[in-house]
A and B are shown apart, each in its own frame.
Chain A
Amino acid sequence: MSQANHSIPLGDKLWRWLVISLPYWWLAIFFLAPFAIVFKISFADPVVAQPPFSNFFDFSPGAESWLLATLDNYRFITEDNLYWISYFKSLKIATISTVLCLLLGYPMAYGIAKCQPGTRNILLMLVILPFWTSFLLRVYAWIVMLGKTGAINSLLLKMGLITTPIEMLYTDGAVYLGIVYTYIPFMVLPLYSVLEKMDTNLQDAAADLGARRWQVFFNIILPLSMPGVIAGSMLVFIPALGEFVIPSLLGGIDSLMIGRTLYDEFFINRDWPLASAVATVLLFIIVVPIMLLQSSLKEHS
């Protein structure tokens, strides 16, 4: 090993080090550094100034302590129900949306994987197609569809199926619809890639050994597609948890998700330290389950 290192010219060594460390630099610059800033602000006091938070260090002579950190913001979060309600609401909406995406996305991915290769590519294109339009535009389109005088209600009224418009927009249902609609490709794609690679002989073998179709699914297909299920669920759950646009546009007053609360703290109340604390807690809510999942996966393999 050391011998191999000796024979590599210095330039190559540097280059190799650079290439290998690139993802770490990326993480450090675009993730860790911003988080460190937010984390720091979360221990500050709000002030009416530019920037709107107190200094973290005070090196002026005569200061009581050079470190001016306070846990007030975290304390405030635990004391005010609003935050817990919105955290809980976010968790609930993200969880249910993830389950809905899974229930809808699994058959879709399975169906696509079962198709002929030519058809498969067309169907995959269709799954990705919505990304070609602006996300915001697509959410606005749902407002047009769901509104009191929207497309669905007018159609139902014209057909005589209802006499008064159904309350669809500005409800939790609309939020679920928006999230599932927006994030379902993120569920379908990883599931598809797992299902498409699966050896169909395994299914034949199970059937040969006496498994009915549903047993083949639950004994073979589902356990072997778990990596796709987990990846897809993460890709839906994490952004759904912090989702801001969909609940603000489609949700009602009580569809208060943590993303909205965060926005309000930052831009309406201009309380950056509190908002930072909310963001930090949110990060831990996301990170802790992921780490647990990772370690359980490691045990599995």
Chain B
Amino acid sequence: MTAATDKEAPKLPETDFTETPWLDPQAAPLIQIKSLSKEFDDFTAVDSISLDIYQGELFTILGSSGCGKSTLLRMLAGFENPSAGQIIIDGVDISDLPAYDRPVNMMFQSYAVFPHMTVAQNIAYGLKKDRLPNAEINSRVQEMLELVQLQDLAARKPKQLSGGQCQRVALARALIKRPKVLLLDEPLAALDKKLREQTQFELINLQHKLGTTFIVVTHDQEEAMTLSSRVAVMDAGRFVQIGTPLEVYEFPLNRFVADFFGTINLFDATVTSSVQVDSCTHTIEAALDKTGTLVKADCSHQLNQGDIISIGVRPEKLSISQKKPRGKNLTITNGIVEDLAYYGNRSIYRVRSHSGRMIQVSAQNFQRTKELVLEWDDQVYLSWDSSCSVVLPE
């Protein structure tokens, strides 16, 4: 008995999981979702989803409203019964367990802090329901209050708290039962921008400290990008792409992901030639529709002449200049600045090319000047390296 508790004692700072367990074929996932579906009367909210999530991950499910991400989360929490499929946590099938018996806790989007209880009572609620001895409840509540820095507000009612403080109460309340998985429904949506940025980092630090597996649902791609170890982009009840934020941003699998996860300029094109460079890179050349401008791009697989594709370029990967740029592997086009937005650190230009296409460019403002370097209606050249083009199937 003592040996077991000794083993468990130094559990808190445990971070000895690998950084990328999903690449390790030996690693056993903590959560296994197996062809999970949820059908409502007339539509399918979640359509046969399968997913493995590993211990210590901060996994984000990203999608627009109505894509089924909240239904998926509610099924994990036990508020909705799946129509088909299984949810396995730590080897135990929890699909049929009621919410109160699951080793998961949830932080609600509205925080759902009990308005008639004090901060301390809110946080203690989960342990009270487990009928833990009062002394232990008190010490764990104290520990939690310190963790979320609410020691001084323990006796306050939620009405007397700010939005950020309520969020921390909700977080502490959900974490106090030491769940195997913490579900977070749009954890930052209700906070204002400054607080959101700050809270993002706090959340990540907390997650690292506790080593609890977090599953976050959000519609905000920036939130998904900064928080996650991995992101699953969801659309119409299915996952469109799962990967690290970097993978999903730089190597989107299709137009939907490219467009949803960040901003991208998309051009319809037809492949004119495809040359294999090495085992996993092909350099293709494609003619843009309408203008026939030839664009070079790197692609991971062989394409055939005549294939119809989309070429995508992220706005920050384009260079904008008044002089014609020179260089190998550059794709160059020109146009007129139609819109520009000055953000201080960067500017966003919307350039109308000769074919009438609108191209968005995001440029860092390297120099400190009194006047804008580029103005409305300026003639400009746009260029990008072929390695920056993303080839997307039509």
Give A residues with C-beta under 8 Å from B: 199, 201-202, 204-212, 215, 219-220, 223-224
B126 touching A199, Cβ below 8 Å: no
In the assembled complex, B267 has its CB within 8 A of some CB on chain A: no
Which of B2-10, B103-111, B145-153, B277-285 lines the interface with chain A?
B103-111
B110 touching A210, Cβ below 8 Å: no
Which of B112-120, B202-210, B300-308 lines the interface with chain A?
B112-120
Asked if A209 meets B126 with Cβ closer than 8 Å, knowing A199-B112, A202-B112, A204-B99, the reply is yes
In the complex, which residues of chain B have a beta carbon less than 8 angstroms from the beta carbon of A224? 115-116
Complex CA–CA separation, A216 to B380 (angstroms): 65
A204 touching B125, Cβ below 8 Å: no
The residue from B77, B114, B115 contacting A208, defined by CB atoms under 8 A apart? B77
The residue from A204, A210, A220, A223 contacting B126, defined by CB atoms under 8 A apart? A210
A199 touching B79, Cβ below 8 Å: no
Asked if A220 meets B114 with Cβ closer than 8 Å, knowing A209-B126, A209-B129, A210-B177, the reply is yes
In the complex, which residues of chain B have a beta carbon less than 8 angstroms from the beta carbon of A202? 112, 114-115
Complex CA–CA separation, A223 to B253 (angstroms): 51
CB of B387, distance to nearest CB on chain A (Å): 47
A209 touching B112, Cβ below 8 Å: no
In the complex, which residues of chain A have a beta carbon less than 8 angstroms from the beta carbon of B98? 207
Q: Which 10 A-B pairs have the closest CB atoms?
A: A210-B129, A209-B126, A201-B112, A205-B112, A207-B99, A210-B100, A201-B108, A208-B106, A223-B116, A202-B112
CB of A212, distance to nearest CB on chain B (Å): 6
The residue from B115, B116, B177 contacting A209, defined by CB atoms under 8 A apart? B177
In the assembled complex, B130 has its CB within 8 A of some CB on chain A: yes
In the complex, which residues of chain A have a beta carbon less than 8 angstroms from the beta carbon of B79? 204, 207-208
In the complex, which residues of chain A have a beta carbon less than 8 angstroms from the beta carbon of B108? 201, 204-205
B110 touching A208, Cβ below 8 Å: no
A209 touching B110, Cβ below 8 Å: no
Complex CA–CA separation, A210 to B110 (angstroms): 19
CB of A127, distance to nearest CB on chain B (Å): 27
B116 touching A208, Cβ below 8 Å: no
In the assembled complex, B180 has its CB within 8 A of some CB on chain A: no
Asked if A211 meets B116 with Cβ closer than 8 Å, knowing A201-B108, A204-B79, A204-B99, the reply is no
Query: Which of A208, A210, A212 has the most chain B CB atoms inside 10 A of its CB?
Result: A208
- Complex: chain B residue closest to A211, CB-CB: B129
Tell me how many residues of B have a C-beta within 8 Å of chain A. 23
Within 8 A of A (CB), among B136-168: none
- Complex: chain B residue closest to A300, CB-CB: B116
Query: Which of A207, A211, A215, A223 has the most chain B CB atoms inside 10 A of its CB?
Result: A207
Within 8 A of A (CB), among B151-193: 173-174, 177
- Complex: chain A residue closest to B98, CB-CB: A207
Asked if A205 meets B130 with Cβ closer than 8 Å, knowing A210-B100, A211-B100, A223-B116, the reply is no
B100 touching A212, Cβ below 8 Å: yes
CB of A246, distance to nearest CB on chain B (Å): 36
In the complex, which residues of chain B have a beta carbon less than 8 angstroms from the beta carbon of A209? 100, 105, 125-126, 129, 173-174, 177
Complex CA–CA separation, A205 to B185 (angstroms): 12
CB of B367, distance to nearest CB on chain A (Å): 50
Within 8 A of A (CB), among B66-96: 77-79
In the complex, which residues of chain A have a beta carbon less than 8 angstroms from the beta carbon of B106? 204-205, 208
Listed A/B pairs (23) with beta-carbon separation below 8 Å? A201-B108, A201-B109, A201-B112, A202-B114, A202-B115, A204-B77, A204-B112, A206-B114, A206-B125, A207-B78, A207-B79, A208-B78, A208-B104, A208-B105, A208-B174, A209-B174, A209-B177, A210-B100, A211-B100, A215-B129, A219-B125, A220-B114, A224-B115
Complex CA–CA separation, A122 to B274 (angstroms): 68
B100 touching A201, Cβ below 8 Å: no
In the complex, which residues of chain A have a beta carbon less than 8 angstroms from the beta carbon of B130? 210
B115 touching A207, Cβ below 8 Å: no
Complex CA–CA separation, A211 to B122 (angstroms): 13
In the complex, which residues of chain A have a beta carbon less than 8 angstroms from the beta carbon of B77? 204, 208
In the complex, which residues of chain B have a beta carbon less than 8 angstroms from the beta carbon of A201? 108-110, 112
- Complex: chain B residue closest to A210, CB-CB: B129
CB of A148, distance to nearest CB on chain B (Å): 51
Q: Give me 6 other A-B pairs in contact (C-beta within 8 A), A204-B112, A212-B100 excluded.
A: A202-B112, A204-B99, A208-B77, A208-B78, A208-B100, A209-B125
In the complex, which residues of chain A have a beta carbon less than 8 angstroms from the beta carbon of B99? 204, 207-208
Complex CA–CA separation, A43 to B79 (angstroms): 65
Bits for B365-378, please: 1 = Cβ < 8 Å to A, else 0: 00000000000000
Complex CA–CA separation, A299 to B110 (angstroms): 27
CB of A298, distance to nearest CB on chain B (Å): 15
In the complex, which residues of chain A have a beta carbon less than 8 angstroms from the beta carbon of B109? 201
- Complex: chain B residue closest to A216, CB-CB: B100
In the complex, which residues of chain A have a beta carbon less than 8 angstroms from the beta carbon of B125? 206, 209, 211, 219
Complex CA–CA separation, A207 to B77 (angstroms): 10
- Complex: chain A residue closest to B102, CB-CB: A208
- Complex: chain A residue closest to B124, CB-CB: A209
- Complex: chain A residue closest to B110, CB-CB: A201
CB of B216, distance to nearest CB on chain A (Å): 16
Complex CA–CA separation, A224 to B116 (angstroms): 7
- Complex: chain A residue closest to B126, CB-CB: A209
In the complex, which residues of chain A have a beta carbon less than 8 angstroms from the beta carbon of B177? 209-210
A207 touching B112, Cβ below 8 Å: no
Query: Which of B99, B115, B174 has the most chain A CB atoms inside 10 A of its CB?
Result: B99
CB of A172, distance to nearest CB on chain B (Å): 37
CB of B77, distance to nearest CB on chain A (Å): 6
- Complex: chain A residue closest to B105, CB-CB: A208
In the complex, which residues of chain A have a beta carbon less than 8 angstroms from the beta carbon of B126? 209-210
CB of B350, distance to nearest CB on chain A (Å): 41
Complex CA–CA separation, A211 to B102 (angstroms): 11
CB of B141, distance to nearest CB on chain A (Å): 13
Complex CA–CA separation, A209 to B78 (angstroms): 11
CB of A224, distance to nearest CB on chain B (Å): 6
